[in-house]
Structure 1
């Protein structure tokens, strides 16, 4: 029996990449940081982006939500072009209003929390939904309390960030990103600034998000997380994405010599 229009539309939506990056080039001055990087992330997929420090992982992540601009290439978020390059090599972005709208589909968690120190935990969560999305205060508070329950910090709602541990601050940062109801979560080394004993509580929160089928792109040095939670591992070195494979295959038998050397050092 032929598919109905709705069925075809649903199938197309299911196959539509959440993130599509093709041929990304980026330089700082004369120093090439990203060299022809291409990566596709599907709906509900968890991709671990790994590699040595300085390999361009964080820069690539920042390019996906316009914290950095690219010199050349193509970026689309949920099928909507953010940046594209013409035949003459000129890279152009959509209008500023469209950039803001498209980038709201992504939430980002940084290494160093970036919480507002003068606001309580609850106020950190409700600020952006109220200011950016125009959400009513009561609705924003109700949403924030649900998210604080999710990350296990409801009891800290009235505390200021200075009274939280590093792990608690990072979980608040995750909740704050989720408060904007993104479809995609980007994590830039979310545990690198934490003491080892605090890393586990943040990774547990991220595992729970993965189980809820949140689309996630995670720059990380936590190989246990990459092996156990990620569907796909993408390995970068010296600005190039050298290998993208299912996590089990990557850790079982990495295909590139640089990947093998990296794993031998990390495991």
Structure 2
């Protein structure tokens, strides 16, 4: 007997956003150092509690206290590789979900090899742009997210596309990293990783559209985006969310 799997919806996104704001999940980020503050601000305004340390001595304790982990390869060196391995080991041992963002793995063979090593360790989600995700056609049981003007998510049994967002997101460094942090916050309150990720993408996408109405350009958009994330609610999500079944 086949099992009907739930698909994401605007109502589900609104419900999960309310849960994130009520529960305030802790999200630990091993993040691109260029965008740490912007990402931390985004997690905070949506309702989560971020932490960012990459200290080898501290990472185990921080991940143990977190509800979800973000691994972003944007700025990578030998020391950070070891910290990431330790963090992932702690997360896996505790059953905590984590998301892998293999940033620029298409630029560097050594980065790609490391990203593939991490993919084999069981991330809940692997998220990247078209060029990056072309190198990860197989990602185990992870939800695959291919980002772009339309985001596409697939977990084997389901495939959905989300058309929310604004072109200025691509002009502000860190909006994608911030979105990864928001996805992690949603994973902390929703065990269905595709539902969690799709809901987070709807929240960030709708917030971007609302922010663009107030902004004059990419500079003011970054500030307006944070404002919109802090204020967006069920009414806006139900009105503006664009989620479609992508299996047809």
**Greater fraction of residues in strand:** 1
Task: Tell me which structure has the larger Cα radius of gyration.
Answer: 1
Indicate whether the TM-score tops 0.5: no
Give the TM-score normalised by the residue count of structure 2.
Answer: 0.34
**Greater fraction of residues in helix:** 2
Give the TM-score normalised by the residue count of structure 1.
Answer: 0.32
